């Protein structure tokens, strides 16, 4: 038997073209609504509870089951996604990194998105990063520029090689303190909004999360600081996971709980820790359609909203 489940992941869903950040890569609200109309016609949108119920083999999922997941705890999800899900009577699963909200910080990955969203070409951004590294070479132990270009300069699934190189340098390739210093400098220059104010505008508030929870939306863990868990020691992984669990408890999030690994990063330690904490489902970023009879339910693959958008375009011919 095959128990197929199409899990779709979303990040930004907002009006982008007319906004302050027209270069932001995300999904326009109008296209999101079209996706919901498509899903209503061709799939049965299910909840995390439905999926967990089907993992024990007692209940089956409806044919063409789809689960909608929303990463990173953006205020977009309350402002634009939540009302449309209610309109179509669909459930959603929202994966929140609690740290940036609790501490009014902005995640490094989001700083990169909005610097790019402000219209800075990737080529000039890359030159600025290397120039900043030269300026800071007395303070940090950097490797030669060619090393980084060779090791990290390959294209990703949705980003070209230059973009991926900038992202990798600022997300993990450079020493942590240097990454922060360079990124903060670029963020101040191109976005120019104080981090705490920007954080409040970008992410959900705890009140909004509670409101969505009360309306039957699933709230899941996306770690605490949105760290690459597979790069951390067992002890530091445990801290990240347990701090997120603390927020699930504080926010009275009903079980079953689910976990979405930040950046798709996990290892055997991560899996044993989240199982111990009682999480029932886990999501990475490897692309594909899940099969509950075949896949490890703690590492389910997902499709990106871009993949669904391509399917819809093809169907429209
Ligand atoms: Zn994320």
Q: What is the pLDDT of residue 239?
A: 98
DSSP letter (8 states) at residue 173: I
CB environment 249-286: b (16+ within 10 A), e (fewer): eeeebeebbbbbbbbbbbeebbbebbeebebbbbbbbe
Segment 41-51, tens digit of pLDDT: 999 999 999 99
Q: What is the pLDDT of residue 83?
A: 98
Single pTM value for the model: 0.93
With helix as H, strand as E and coil as C, how does 59-104 read? Answer: CCCCCCEEEEEEECCECHHHHHHHHHHHHCCCCCEEEECHHHHHHC
The Cα–Cα gap between 106 and 156 comes to: 24
The Cα–Cα gap between 187 and 199 comes to: 13
> Is 317 a residue whose pLDDT tops 80?
no
Q: What percent of the chain has pLDDT over 70?
A: 100
> Is 59 a residue whose pLDDT tops 90?
no
Q: pLDDT band at residue 140, thresholds of 50, 70 and 90?
A: very high
- Domain ranges (residues) in the chain: 4-105+202-316, 119-190
* 3-class SS of residue 13: strand
Read off the pLDDT of each residue in 52-73 and give the average, rounded to a whole number.
92
Beta 4-10 vs 290-291: how paired, if at all?
antiparallel
Shortest CA distance to 204 belongs to which of 93, 111, 84, 98? 98
> Distance from the CA of 258 to the center of ligand 1, in angstroms?
14
Helix axes 161-168, 145-152, angle to 10 degrees: 120
Q: E strands within the chain?
A: 4-10, 44-45, 65-71, 93-96, 218-221, 257-260, 279-287, 290-291, 300-304
Read off the pLDDT of each residue in 205-224 and give the average, rounded to a whole number.
98
The token pair that represents 35 in the structure block: 């996706």
Read off the pLDDT of each residue in 267-292 and give the average, rounded to a whole number.
95
> Could you tell me the CA-to-CA distances from 30 to 20, 60, 80, 192 in Å, in that order?
18, 33, 10, 29
Read off the pLDDT of each residue in 79-88 and give the average, rounded to a whole number.
98
> Distance from the CA of 11 to the center of ligand 1, in angstroms?
8
Segment 150-203, tens digit of pLDDT: 999 999 888 899 999 999 999 889 999 999 999 999 999 999 999 999 999 999
Q: pLDDT band at residue 316, thresholds of 50, 70 and 90?
A: confident
Read off the pLDDT of each residue in 38-64 and give the average, rounded to a whole number.
92
> Distance from the CA of 1 to the center of ligand 1, in angstroms?
32
Q: What is the pLDDT of residue 185?
A: 95
The token pair that represents 297 in the structure block: 């339910």
Read off the pLDDT of each residue in 208-228 and give the average, rounded to a whole number.
97
The Cα–Cα gap between 85 and 99 comes to: 26
Q: What is the pLDDT of residue 1?
A: 62
Read off the pLDDT of each residue in 60-69 and give the average, rounded to a whole number.
95
Q: What is the pLDDT of residue 208?
A: 98
> Distance from the CA of 263 to the center of ligand 1, in angstroms?
6
> Distance from the CA of 138 to the center of ligand 1, in angstroms?
33
Residue 305: partners with Cβ closer than 8 Å, 6 or more residues away: 8, 9, 10, 11, 27, 32, 35
Average pLDDT of the chain to the nearest whole number: 94
Q: What is the pLDDT of residue 177?
A: 94
> Is 56 a residue whose pLDDT tops 80?
no
Q: pLDDT band at residue 2, thresholds of 50, 70 and 90?
A: confident
| Residue 10 and residue 72 in contact, taking contact as beta carbons nearer than 8 Å | no
> Is 148 a residue whose pLDDT tops 80?
yes
Read off the pLDDT of each residue in 206-223 and give the average, rounded to a whole number.
98
> Distance from the CA of 114 to the center of ligand 1, in angstroms?
15
Segment 96-122, tens digit of pLDDT: 999 999 999 999 999 999 998 888 888
> Distance from the CA of 71 to the center of ligand 1, in angstroms?
5
Token match 């940090």: residue? 140
Token match 């996306």: residue? 222
> Distance from the CA of 29 to the center of ligand 1, in angstroms?
20
Q: E strands within 84-183?
A: 93-96
Shortest CA distance to 111 belongs to which of 191, 165, 27? 191
Read off the pLDDT of each residue in 202-219 and give the average, rounded to a whole number.
98
> Distance from the CA of 128 to the center of ligand 1, in angstroms?
25
Q: Which of 160-164, 202-206, 293-297, 306-310 has the highest mean pLDDT?
A: 202-206
> Is 58 a residue whose pLDDT tops 80?
no
Q: Hey, CA dihedral for 120, 123, 124, 126, is it positive or negative?
A: positive
> Distance from the CA of 227 to the center of ligand 1, in angstroms?
9
Fold of 4-105+202-316: TIM Barrel (3.20.20)
Beta 4-10 vs 65-71: how paired, if at all?
parallel
Q: What is the pLDDT of residue 178?
A: 97
């Amino acid at each position: 038997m095959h128990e197929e489940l199409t899990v779709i992941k979303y990040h930004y869903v907002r009006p982008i073209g007319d906004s302050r950040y027209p270069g932001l890569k995300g999904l326009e609200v109008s296209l999101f609504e079209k996706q919901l109309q498509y899903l209503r016609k061709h799939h049965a949108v299910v909840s995390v509870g439905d999926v967990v119920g089907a993992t024990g083999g007692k209940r089956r999922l409806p044919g063409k089951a789809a689960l909608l997941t929303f990463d990173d705890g953006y205020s977009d999800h309350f402002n634009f996604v939540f009302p449309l899900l209610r309109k179509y009577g669909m459930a959603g699963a929202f994966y929140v990194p609690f740290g940036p909200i609790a501490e009014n910080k902005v995640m490094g990955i989001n700083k990169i998105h909005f610097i790019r969203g402000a219209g800075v070409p990737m080529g000039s951004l890359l030159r600025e990063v290397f120039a900043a590294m030269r300026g800071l070479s007395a303070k940090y132990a950097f490797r030669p520029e060619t090393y980084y270009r060779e090791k990290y300069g390959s294209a990703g699934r949705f980003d070209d090689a230059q973009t991926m190189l900038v992202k990798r340098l600022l997300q993990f390739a450079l020493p942590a303190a240097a990454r922060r210093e360079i990124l903060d400098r670029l963020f101040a220059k191109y976005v120019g909004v104080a981090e705490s104010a920007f954080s409040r505008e970008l992410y959900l508030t705890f009140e909004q999360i509670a409101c969505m929870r009360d309306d039957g939306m699933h709230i899941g863990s996306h770690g605490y600081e949105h760290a690459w868990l597979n790069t951390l020691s067992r002890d530091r992984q445990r801290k990240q996971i347990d701090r997120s669990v603390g927020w699930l408890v504080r926010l009275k999030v009903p079980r079953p709980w689910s976990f979405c690994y930040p950046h798709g990063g996990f290892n055997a330690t991560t899996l044993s820790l989240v199982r111990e904490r009682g999480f029932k489902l886990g999501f990475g970023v490897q692309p594909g359609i899940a099969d509950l009879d075949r896949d490890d339910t703690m590492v389910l693959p997902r499709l990106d909203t871009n993949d669904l958008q391509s399917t819809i375009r093809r169907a429209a011919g």
